[in-house]
Amino acid sequence: QVQLMESGGGLVHTGGSLRLSCAASGSPFRLHHMGWYRQVPGRLREKVAVITPAGSPDYGDFVKGRFTISIDSSKNAVSLEMNNLELQDTAVYYCTARITVSRAGSDTMYNQWGQGTQVTVSS
């Protein structure tokens, strides 16, 4: 199996910064992209930022230049630098990796998810 190990969540005041990190490990896989989604109770999970192994990022519309995602392809790890955090950024943040694994001669592509890390922004 492939596991995603998340770190960096916590409590911060408005205007502050947090850095989320995630690393994928386990069974061999091919990585298509990796990044972060977030979810608030009662709302759909939404994309924060994802990035390809080559370093091409894709940000959610709400980011507006505040967040920066980076990847270390050699380690299958990503970091999300979140600056100027707002109350609306409070959510559970989930690391995700879109991967392909080979089992019994068949390739399967799917999204692997971390367990989630809480980000709370307070006034």
Q: What is the pLDDT of residues 56-72, one digit of tens each?
A: 999 999 898 999 999 99
Name the residue among 43, 44, 47 with its Cα closest to residue 57: 47
Confidence at residue 105, expressed as pLDDT on a 0 to 100 scale: 87
pLDDT tens, residue by residue, 73-114: 999 999 999 999 999 999 999 999 999 999 888 999 999 999
Distance in angstroms (rounded) separating the CA atoms of residues 33 and 11: 28
- Which tens digit of pLDDT belongs to each residue from 34-54? 999 999 999 999 999 999 999
Between CA 67 and CA 14, with CA 60 as vertex, the angle to 5 degrees is: 45
What's the Cα-to-Cα distance from 3 to each of 28, 29, 81, 85, rounded to whole Å? 11, 11, 22, 28
Please give the DSSP secondary-structure letter assigned to residue 1: -
